[in-house]
């Protein structure tokens, strides 16, 4: 048995023992997984050493290769385990490993792994989304009577995913209004419990609270909570976006959702035969399969480059662009295949599997809600229009 076959065997055995059946069923049907369920699952993974195996061994990681990590992610997906990592493991963790001070690393990294700290991302603003360099949230430096220094932060961040659960937020703030736009930005770590921080939910058409607006009113942030030099946050933000776009390819999530559509094709009937045999369904499904495997191979190539110390450039925007479009097309096919059963049924997406209505496909409950959620995937993390422009200018030289 080779290295990867052994790993697959070990992962499958672990999931069979550790993943609660109720959580597995909720993920399989596309229902919401609670924060408590997610924390419980991520703690189990952390105890096994598989929550952040790509982190360096010095920070409780295992220094895994991109290939080993891909095997783990694939097995987790195929077993309907909740998606893990996200903002804390995949974004702020690597930034602190590469750019944080020793004190920041020693304080935050263990707390990320043990689930004590959940993070959200403070980038977009009401008038600064894809044009991130135009952000206006202001951080002014002050000195107290005892000689300690801090930033007083004012502004707001919007489309902040899961801020209602977050303990900390990493923010881009403007610390120099006279400098060129990209050169006057700093990267701050802000405690969500600080006086002056407030969160307003943004409820989507699907009824889920995925996004929020975060208000920062005279929030005092110690200078020690700045990552990197003052006014040098833009380069850190760009490196984070490059890491983020590897994850925003959504390969694992796309794989899980395509497996759901495969199950729909096997279970739902049309004209007296399984949907999988209908030409319109089969053609669209197989085209999605090809696109997914092509994307997965390309992401793996970028991860290998990253692991070897190579620089990730603007080409990573291609992965986000293709992955976000693919996931929308997968969810569109799911709704088209389920048909009228998905109408006026989204409220059930908030329920437990046992509450689903008999006589309908169990996938129908969340189908429309899931499709609505994916409408934002070609906007979040940089709109498709912006990605096309960046690729044209920075990669193709047009």
Length of the chain: 398
Is residue 214 over pLDDT 90?
yes
Specify the pLDDT at position 157.
96
Q: Which two structure tokens, joined as six digits, stand for 117?
A: 């700290």
Residue 310 half-sphere exposure toward CB, CA atoms < 13 A: 12
- Strand-pair partners of 197: 216
What is the pLDDT, as a whole number, of residue 170? Answer: 97
Q: Which CATH architecture has domain 3-84?
A: Orthogonal Bundle (1.10)
Question: CA dihedral in degrees (138, 143, 149, 154; nearest 10)?
Answer: -20
Give, for 141, the enclosing helix (H) or strand (E): strand 138-143
Of 244, 253, 306, 331, which is the active-site residue?
Answer: 244
Check pLDDT > 70 for residue 182: yes
Calculate mean pLDDT across residues 204-212: 81
Question: What is the band of 244 on the pLDDT scale with cuts at 50, 70, 90?
Answer: low
Give me the phi and psi of 205, to 5 degrees please: -60, -25
Say how many C-beta atoms besides its own lie within 10 A of residue 267's C-beta.
15
Using an 8 Å Cβ cutoff, are 89 and 108 in contact?
no
Q: Is the dihedral of CA 317, 333, 35, 114 positive or negative?
A: negative
Q: What is the pLDDT of residue 141?
A: 95
244 is catalytic: yes
pLDDT-derived band at 104, boundaries 50, 70, 90 = very high
| The pLDDT of residue 179 is above 60 | yes
What pLDDT does residue 140 have? 96
Look-up: residue for tokens 């479009």? 325
Q: Which residue, 79, 30, 32, is CA-closest to 363? A: 30
Q: Is 291 helix (H, G, I), strand (E, B) or coil?
A: helix
Architecture of the CATH domain 119-231: Beta Barrel (2.40)
In three-state secondary structure terms, 274 is: strand
Q: Could you tell me which residue, 33 or 239, shows the higher pLDDT?
A: 33
Q: What is the mean pLDDT of residues 146-162?
A: 94
R_g of the chain computed on alpha carbons: 22
Least confidently predicted of 101-115, 202-216, 303-317: 303-317
pLDDT of residue 361: 84
Give mean pLDDT, residues 61-80.
85
Distance of alpha carbon 244 from alpha carbon 254, whole angstroms: 16
Domain limits, the chain: 3-84, 119-231, 248-395
Measure the CA–CA gap between 198 and 344, rounded to whole angstroms: 33
Tens digit of each residue's pLDDT (9 = 90 or more) over 309-353: 777 777 888 888 899 999 999 999 999 999 988 875 555 555 566
Look at residue 243 in the predicted model and tell me its pLDDT.
57
Asked if the model's pLDDT at residue 183 lies above 90, the reply is no
Give the per-residue pLDDT at 356: 60
Question: Could you give the CA distance from residue 312 to residue 290 in angstroms, rounded to a whole number?
Answer: 25
| Top-level class of domain 248-395 | mainly alpha
């Amino acid at each position: 048995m080779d290295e990867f076959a052994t790993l697959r065997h070990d992962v499958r055995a672990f999931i069979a023992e550790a993943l609660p059946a109720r959580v597995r069923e909720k993920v399989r049907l596309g229902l919401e997984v609670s924060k408590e369920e997610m924390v419980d699952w991520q703690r189990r993974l952390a105890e096994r050493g598989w929550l952040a195996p790509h982190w360096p061994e010095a920070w409780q990681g295992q220094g895994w290769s991109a290939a080993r990590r891909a095997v783990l992610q694939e097995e987790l997906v195929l077993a309907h385990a909740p998606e893990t990592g996200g903002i804390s493991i995949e974004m702020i963790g690597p930034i602190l490993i590469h750019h944080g001070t020793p004190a920041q690393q020693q304080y935050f990294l263990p707390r990320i792994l043990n689930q004590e700290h959940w993070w959200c991302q403070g980038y977009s603003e009401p008038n600064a989304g894809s044009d991130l360099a135009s952000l206006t949230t202001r951080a002014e430096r002050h000195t107290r009577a005892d000689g300690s220094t801090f930033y007083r932060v004012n502004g707001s961040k919007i489309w902040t995913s899961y801020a209602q659960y977050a303990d900390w937020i990493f923010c881009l703030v403007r610390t120099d209004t006279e400098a060129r736009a990209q050169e006057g930005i700093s990267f701050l770590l802000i405690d969500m419990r600080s006086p002056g921080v407030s969160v307003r939910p943004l409820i989507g058409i699907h009824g889920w609270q995925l996004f929020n607006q975060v208000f920062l009113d005279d929030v005092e942030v110690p200078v020690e909570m700045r990552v990197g030099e003052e006014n040098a946050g833009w380069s850190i933000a760009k490196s984070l976006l490059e890491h983020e776009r590897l994850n925003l390819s959504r390969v694992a999530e796309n794989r899980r959702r395509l497996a759901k559509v495969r199950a729909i094709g096997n279970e739902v009937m049309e004209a007296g035969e399984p949907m999988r045999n209908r030409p319109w369904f089969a053609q669209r499904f197989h085209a999605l399969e090809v696109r997914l495997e092509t994307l997965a191979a390309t992401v793996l190539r970028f991860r290998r480059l990253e692991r070897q110390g190579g620089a990730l450039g603007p080409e990573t925007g291609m992965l986000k662009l293709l992955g976000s479009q693919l996931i929308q097309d997968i969810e569109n096919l799911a709704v088209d295949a389920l048909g009228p059963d998905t109408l006026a049924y989204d409220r059930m997406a908030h329920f437990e599997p046992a509450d689903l209505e008999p006589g309908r496909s169990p996938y129908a409950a969340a189908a429309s809600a899931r499709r609505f959620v994916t409408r934002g995937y070609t906007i979040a993390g940089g709109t498709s229009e912006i990605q096309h422009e960046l690729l044209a200018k920075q990669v193709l030289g047009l």
